[in-house]
Amino acid sequence: MAVSISVVVVIVSLHLLAFVLAIGAERRRSTAKVVPDQYDEYDYCVYASDASTAYGLSAFGLLLISQTVVNGVTKCLCFGKGLVRSRMRSVAIFFFVLSWISFLGAEACLLAGSAKNAYHTKYRGIYRGNELSCETLRKGVFAGGAALTLISMAASIVYYVVHLKADTGGWERHENGLSMTSLENPEQGGVGRFEKL
């Protein structure tokens, strides 16, 4: 089977969009500051925009779609006719595992970062005596997701290309090589003839 350029373009486009959104989410992380209310009875946290939550969830969705496309086209390495036993098969399995590990790591970073960024600390009264801490997302979570997205993209493309080279294409390999069965017709003196089955 030949490599489909349209599949490669879809995989690269979705991964790159997810990468850009993850970088945008890192740059737009929510910040907060402690502000007293108008009567100076309570302190509360004022949070900046939640844009990075939307960016992170969008990147999560695009990455999920891209991984679905790759595994749908290759039948997830588990289904289908199978791969020819060779070095290409080992390489395909390695990049299949690498693409899944980096995909799951990126999804975990993006989802956890989006959830933590959306969490806002409640206000607390001054009379309790302890200082209010405005919880925000730690720096680098979305950046880690972006880096794993690029690794996932590279691994997915290599896996797709190598899988197609190692794919049997529907032919089954036998010890004596690829062969077709001929049926003998006794009326023609044993001359082999192919018949429709």
Per-residue pLDDT of the chain (197 residues), as tens digits, is 567 899 999 999 999 999 999 999 989 887 777 777 777 667 777 777 778 889 999 999 999 999 999 999 888 776 656 666 778 888 888 999 999 999 999 999 999 998 888 876 655 545 455 566 777 788 899 999 999 999 999 999 999 988 888 775 544 444 455 444 444 444 554 444 444 44
Which two structure tokens, joined as six digits, stand for 56? 């992170």
For 23, the enclosing helix (H) or strand (E) is helix 5-27
Task: Write down the pLDDT at residue 45.
Answer: 78
Task: Write down the pLDDT at residue 33.
Answer: 76
Task: Write down the pLDDT at residue 116.
Answer: 85
pTM of the model: 0.73
Task: Write down the pLDDT at residue 100.
Answer: 96
Q: Which residues of 14-53 are buried (b: 16+ CB within 10 A; e: fewer)?
A: bbebbbbbbbbbbebbbebeeeeeeeeebbbbebeeeebb
